[in-house]
């Protein structure tokens, strides 16, 4: 893609490069927080329901991870 074509596509889509990352940080942080919450929920479910883990790890650990994950994934 030539430089002119790339600029034309950017104009058509109204996409402009930004020099500061202030617009990107909140969206990235929010996405990271939601994904971390989902991972904690999955890990908590894993600890509660998979037999080798639910026998050796206390059930309160899985429940705690699930509750933290639900708060983060909102």
**What pLDDT digit, counting tens, does each position of 33-67 carry?**
999 999 999 999 999 998 888 888 888 999 999 99
How many structural domains is the chain composed of?
Answer: 1
Q: Is 35 a domain residue?
A: yes
Q: Is 60 a domain residue?
A: yes
- Model pTM? 0.61
Contact 16, 23 (CB under 8 A): no
Predicted local distance difference test score (pLDDT) of residue 52: 86
pLDDT at 16 over 60: no
**pLDDT bracket for residue 18 (50, 70, 90):** low
Q: Is 16 a domain residue?
A: no
Q: Is 20 a domain residue?
A: no
Distance CA(62)–CA(65), nearest Å, equals: 5
């Amino acid at each position: 893609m030539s430089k002119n074509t790339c600029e034309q596509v950017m104009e058509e889509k109204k996409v402009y490069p930004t020099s500061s990352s202030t617009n990107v940080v909140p969206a990235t942080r929010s996405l990271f927080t939601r994904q971390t919450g989902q991972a904690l929920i999955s890990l908590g479910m894993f600890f509660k329901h998979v037999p080798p883990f639910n026998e050796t790890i206390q059930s309160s650990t899985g429940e705690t991870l699930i509750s933290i994950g639900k708060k983060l994934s909102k």
